[in-house]
Structure 1
Amino acid sequence: MASAIRRLFQWKTLAFALGIGSLLAAIVYATLAVFFPDIFDGVNRIAHRQIVAVQDYYYDRRTSESEFALEDPVERASLPLYRTIPALAAEKRTPHIAQPEANYQTWHRSTGGAAALRYSSLDEVSPENVAQLDVAWTYEDQENGNVQATPIFAADRLIFPTARNSIIAIDPGTGEPQWEAKAYGPEPAKRGLIFSESHNAVFFASGANLHAIAVDTGEPTSILDGGKVRLSGVAKVAPAICGDTVVSANTGENPALQAFDIDTGDLLWSTELIPDDLPTGTGGRPSKQAGANPWGGFSVDQARCIAFVSTGNPGPVLVGVERPGPNPGSSSVIAIDIATGETLWRFQEIAHDLWDLDIPAASVLTSITLDGQKIDVVATPTKQGNMLLLDRLSGQPIFDWRLRRAPTSTVPGERTATYQPDPILPVPFARQVFSQDEVTDIGEENRASVLAQLSNSLFGFFTPPSPNQDLVFYGLHGGAEWPGAAADPSDGSVFIAANNVPSILGLVPEQKVMLDSTHLGRTVYEQNCASCHGSELGGGVGPNIQDAGYRMSDEALTSIILKGQQAMPAVHLDDQQLQQVLGYLSSGTATGSKFPRYRRAEYRRLYDVEGFPGSKPPWGTLSRINLATGKIDWQIPFGRHLALEQRGIDGTGTENFGGLLTTASGLLFASGTKDKRIYAFDSANGTELWSHQLPYIGSAPPMTYSYNGEQYVVIPATGGGTLAIYDDRVETGNAFIAFKLP
């Protein structure tokens, strides 16, 4: 029904904009669309494109110069420097209740369980004997490719996705394959999967489908409507289960959480993450807010059946002129009742995000003792380097949440948020503001090469992007990243790996282009590109590419499409599909606007002359945070650059995208650093106890299981990923490696 209401609004808007006012036709269309949604989807897309075109023309005609006036920095400076959201009163905190999986001996979900703790109570491997760990077996897949999913241990099998778009089960004692489920579409179980013991089935998403396969054979099951249901968008993270309900977090134009009956596959509810009541801009202009995609994942309180989902930045990226207000639902943690689909609360870290500072990882659901009371909390690491610590049922901060007055924008029509986060507790675990004082000091030539790049650059506390100037800042790739945190529920500690590597952002003029909606390449685009770039090419997870066919050659576009570029993976198209999508991108006509429009320039890293980060080390860190005090117990450099150590430069750390595992015996396993090692640290003090050279960089968090009385630790080591985007020395491989004691 909600989709029908949206269709009604779209057709009424079109009718009004065209001067027709045909409300009756809109009502008829919306009614038919409820019963025949597939037939009307194509009509709806055409209608939407017409609305966008008419609105752009209409607003250009009626918008006054004052609506595109610059913000007043003097007026902003008159506001108080700080604002504070007070901590939740002690008597209102959520009392602790035990969770069903509280023994922590299984690994049925890639995140280590519904609460995403990445914690195990197995203790055979301990600080006293971890130095004896050695390789038990290595599984080498048939094809190289970055795999970002931690395996699960289910029914005495180790199960995980491969780079060949399949799911494989191997013997946990030998690494020998047992079965392989093939042809499930693009990137099955991209960042995880889950096992339901009561249904003897493994659940995972592939593209816009949710699958259920038998754990014994890999064949589709009879449950979930024959083992497959259609989702509202592409799901990139592990589903979750509470009772007889399976939940999926879907990206796309209308990002949503959806719940299905496990047995029948019936859709129980679908809750969109961007609310309907978006604020309007100056002159009543409706918001075109996109984004808020849940690619970071979600966790579930199984005792209360509540899902906690992390959302990405709003779109269009870096430019918020057409998405006024705080952009609710984006850069947020959102709690949703799994029984009803009702949104219980939202907590937004960054309002009107102009920096691509998503919340990149699933929340950790743990407990702390505060003022003598054991309470349940939600702890969420962010790209900005904050650890959001929220009450489980209310979403209110456990400590005072301090906000600081933010600067204004130089983009015409932009209306920035007046305040942005500047918390005292929990203490930020990564650097948050770049300046010239942060420039590398590993060598005079290194420093000079970075300073030369900063001659026309901006930096500072939440300085907005500006045309014709580079903005240098921390956080585009962490702080924290998608592997997220690990937590010990017994003492309220959380462990997090972080990056301190500056990035460069910029804005360039945008040429408005109306493409030919009837072109054959439109279908190819929608099937392969729209989930990231939006159905109207205006951006979402990926950038705005509406004018790509006008500013780039076919050769350049072909290279990007087939090989990938930066955060964009390669798209596998045959020759006919490639020519069709190239034709679509260059179809249509360019239209002018009397008001300036901007889009984001390509992201870059700030590197020195040798290719090292342009900031002072450490570039990668590992931290233990005491959630009860909000303070950092210890923080150490994470990873090594051997070339720099040979020059006497130690403690640099490296960028990392691997992840963590902590155990009841007092160990913290960590990987994902550029030195291709897996490490074991004493979780109490950060002392390194063991490390092992891997064939490729760890590409997903490690996990552990017990089989035939022995504890194993497994790491996906396939390299590639984000590290390879910015460094062509990073290799992509195919190894999954298990370790155990002799």
Structure 2
Amino acid sequence: MRIRVGTALFVFASVAVFTATQAPPVPPAAAAAATAEWRHYHRDLAGTRYSPLDVITPANVASLAVAWHWKSDNFSAPPEYKNESTPLMIGGTLYFTTGSSRWVIAADAATGATRWTWRLDESDRAAAAPRRDAGRGVSYWTNGTEERIFTVTPGFRLVALDARTGRPVSTFGRDGVVDLKSLLGVEVDAKTAAIGNSSPPLVFEDLVVIGPALEVGTRPPSYKNVPGRILAVDARTGALKWRFNTIPQKGEEGYETWEAGSAEYTGNAGAWAPLSLDEKRGYLYLPLEAATGDYYGGHRLGANLFSSTLACLDVRTGRRLWHFQTVHHDIWDWDNPTAPILADVTIDGQPREIVVQLTKQSFAYVLDRVTGKPIWPIAERPVPASDVPGERAAATQPFPSKPRAYDRQGVTADDLIDFTPELRAEALKLIADGRLRMGAFFAPPSLADAPDGTKGTLSLPGNLGGTNWEHGAFDPETGMLYVGSWTNPTVHALIKDTQRSDMNYVGGGGRLPNVRGLPIIKPPYSRITAINLRTGEHAWMVANGNTPAAIANNPALKGLTIAPTGAQTRPVLLATKTLLFTADGYRGEATLRALDKATGARVWEGALPGSASSSPMTYMVNGRQFVLLWTSQQASGQPSELVAFAIPQPRAGRDDGASVR
């Protein structure tokens, strides 16, 4: 049935009925529930993406099979092919988002049967939103009696839903809705302001903390934009509790890093990746993005704090405690793309509480999470200057001594395709004929029509990483961090586009060449790296997946035997007590794999109905462990579907080995 209340559209199926999570009167039961559930986007607020479940092991993983599907065909027009959300599983119910209008779904965790659905009809406001997709999920709050699901709409509204029924909570905001645009502290157009959200809010105690996501900044219409301020509201009422200016205003620390008053009009510097929290201390960690103008900073000269920064706040007050800028004056779109990972490890015989920020530039910055000081030395090294008129690149950038970079950085002739001498020669000729600069690491973007005749700079990693939103996974028992990355260069070529922007220069003028349909750089094209956080050393690295068919079957490679190149996409990861689950990533091979955590060797692989578009998650219900992820197959017109794997159950009353899924 459908019930319209105000502007909200409710669609009810069989309504979920389950017991609210209580303050733990019986610690063992609470601990068991916590082990079985997946209560946050990365399972915990520390961002580990690790589960201690061990029902699925190397000994039985070969029996893993599809248990059920949940299809999104009816929840988006046009169909959605890239759902990046991670479901939550609490009390036997899954909660997730789907579709361009961000339907919120509750489903039975054992069967996938829908319990309730909800969406908000935002009309024109949604059409103008910069993030018109399913988002990456929802958040959960309880006071021991009430249970709420929090979601942020494409139009940047925060909504509180009753977790049992899917109905908006009438006592929160206005009929369950808070207009986040009204809380920014700057005047913006409610319909057209290009600010939204892509990651679920962080919920702690009675606070809901929202990190905004803004328009992608390749060709912004103006050097003036909405600032990406961090907002915290009361989980019970929706009232604003605090606001943090990621671009400092006059009188605030960091304002001096914006020359000529550019902090007054520059925007972005939001937190589109998930946030993390040290629950013991109440320390909130913000992975902040670049400022307006991803590739040109002539309108915002200076270091530009707190853009492209890992910032630590007091979650209860919003007061900044410390910060570490990962890119000074970012002109590469090297946002901090992942939730900071919090870990307790022993280093040099001493217990250390650390935070790890994975980056698009393939560095893992490891800091003391209380003080912000580096665990291993981080040196400010000179980097190339810019010759773009009006631009002034930072003179130095931070280079960690440990861990070493987990993917390639910078492009030289040695990085180009080398299957045969002829292919290498063709690659060099393409670069010479295209008049591309082969950039050293941190080489700044150049003009598409530079005075020296060059047409852009070949940059590695590119603007998509390295690492991106797919995150990593940390095993607290072994101290091992697993990181996926994509060796994907970008041609940075700046152009004037007075018809679309008032900026001096915008990006988008370059095109990456290929060699007879093959990538211009040599493989692996993507990889998974294991890093021992107790020592800062790499433990192993494997290519992410197999060699794509388009490469393996390329006529230029006929008769050659080549090692697996890895997929041309970023891997998705999940660590459990027993295995590392992974898949190629969006548009990669439709395969789910389980790896040996100690070596990276493949233990098992199974077919998916499409390529993975989300990271896997896991939970246990009724004694059965499930592994879930979203898949899709755009080429065949198959929209996103949620796929659940589990070990088949023995068929009741039979002893012949028959089983049911």
Question: Which TM-score bucket, shorter chain as reference?
Answer: 0.7 to 0.9
How far apart are 1:271 and its partner, in Å? 0.9
Instruction: Please tell me the residue identity of whatever aligns with 1:640.
Output: N
Change (3 A) 1:505 1:374: same
How far apart are 1:449 and its partner, in Å? 4.7
Residue equivalent to 1:163:
99
Residue equivalent to 2:442:
462
Q: Does 1:372 align with 2:319?
A: no
Name the stretch that deviates more: 367-376 or 700-709: 367-376
Once the two structures are superposed, what CA deviation does each residue of 1:253-291 show, in whole Å capped at 9, x if it has no partner?
111211111111111111121112533777787775333
What 5-or-longer segments of structure 2 have no aligned partner? 1-29, 127-131, 182-194, 215-225, 450-454, 649-661
How far apart are 1:317 and its partner, in Å? 2.1
The 5 A counterparts of 1:96-107 are 104-107=35-38
Residue equivalent to 2:469:
482
Change (3 A) 1:717 1:411: same
Computed over aligned residues only, the root mean square deviation of the Cα atoms, in angstroms, reads: 2.4
Once the two structures are superposed, what CA deviation does each residue of 1:365-424 show, in whole Å capped at 9, x if it has no partner?
111111322221111110000001111111111110022211211122322211123332
Match of 2:501 among 546, 555, 558: 546
SS at 1:454 equivalent: helix
Q: Does 1:148 align with 2:81?
A: no
CA distance in 1, matches of 2:529, 2:203: 30
CA distance in 1, matches of 2:335, 2:40: 23
Residue equivalent to 2:150:
203
How far apart are 1:169 and its partner, in Å? 1.8
Instruction: Please tell me the residue identity of whatever aligns with 1:367.
Output: D
How far apart are 1:237 and its partner, in Å? 0.8
Change (3 A) 1:453 1:470: farther
Change (3 A) 1:506 1:741: same
Match of 2:312 among 313, 332, 335: 335
SS at 1:509 equivalent: coil
Q: Does 1:175 align with 2:175?
A: no
Match of 1:734 among 620, 636, 640: 640
Instruction: Please tell me the residue identity of whatever aligns with 2:516.
Output: V
The 5 A counterparts of 1:334-373 are 334-373=311-350
Match of 1:239 among 178, 182, 201: 201
Change (3 A) 1:108 1:188: farther
* Contact 2:567 2:584 (8 Å CA) reproduced: no
CA distance in 2, matches of 1:376, 1:617: 36
* Contact 1:671 1:702 (8 Å CA) reproduced: no
Q: Does 1:127 align with 2:58?
A: yes
Point out the structure with the larger helix share: 1
Residue equivalent to 1:399:
376
CA distance in 2, matches of 1:613, 1:732: 27
Name the stretch that deviates more: 223-232 or 313-322: 223-232
Residue equivalent to 2:10:
none
Match of 2:176 among 227, 246, 256: 227
How far apart are 1:665 and its partner, in Å? 2.1
CA distance in 2, matches of 1:356, 1:398: 26
Residue equivalent to 2:659:
none
How far apart are 1:650 and its partner, in Å? 2.6
Residue equivalent to 2:296:
319
SS at 1:478 equivalent: coil
SS at 2:414 equivalent: helix
Residue equivalent to 2:247:
274
Instruction: Please tell me the residue identity of whatever aligns with 1:113.
Output: D
- State the identity %: 31
CA distance in 2, matches of 1:137, 1:193: 22
* Contact 1:203 1:212 (8 Å CA) reproduced: yes
SS at 2:625 equivalent: strand
SS at 2:428 equivalent: helix
CA distance in 2, matches of 1:716, 1:228: 28
The 5 A counterparts of 1:660-671 are 660-671=573-584
* Contact 1:657 1:699 (8 Å CA) reproduced: no
Once the two structures are superposed, what CA deviation does each residue of 1:126-175 show, in whole Å capped at 9, x if it has no partner?
12211211111112222531211111112311221122521112222222
Match of 1:607 among 505, 508, 514: 514
Q: Does 1:472 align with 2:472?
A: no
Q: Structure 1-normalised TM-score?
A: 0.71
CA distance in 1, matches of 2:37, 2:246: 31
The 5 A counterparts of 1:683-722 are 683-718=597-632
Name the stretch that deviates more: 290-299 or 665-674: 665-674
Change (3 A) 1:240 1:285: closer
SS at 1:420 equivalent: strand
Residue equivalent to 1:434:
411
Residue equivalent to 1:34:
none
How far apart are 1:182 and its partner, in Å? 2.4
CA distance in 2, matches of 1:273, 1:505: 26
Change (3 A) 1:285 1:363: closer
CA distance in 1, matches of 2:99, 2:425: 41
Point out the structure with the larger strand share: 2
CA distance in 2, matches of 1:629, 1:414: 39
Residue equivalent to 1:622:
528
CA distance in 2, matches of 1:730, 1:619: 25
SS at 2:344 equivalent: strand
CA distance in 1, matches of 2:198, 2:429: 40
CA distance in 2, matches of 1:282, 1:326: 9
* Contact 1:161 1:188 (8 Å CA) reproduced: no
Instruction: Please tell me the residue identity of whatever aligns with 1:621.
Output: R
How far apart are 1:609 and its partner, in Å? 2.5
SS at 1:131 equivalent: helix
Q: Does 1:217 align with 2:165?
A: yes
Residue equivalent to 2:235:
262
* Contact 2:544 2:571 (8 Å CA) reproduced: no
CA distance in 2, matches of 1:211, 1:292: 24
Residue equivalent to 2:594:
680
CA distance in 2, matches of 1:411, 1:390: 34
Instruction: Please tell me the residue identity of whatever aligns with 1:206.
Output: T
* Contact 2:361 2:409 (8 Å CA) reproduced: yes
Change (3 A) 1:295 1:363: same
Q: Structure 2-normalised TM-score?
A: 0.79
How far apart are 1:657 and its partner, in Å? 3.9
Change (3 A) 1:445 1:675: farther
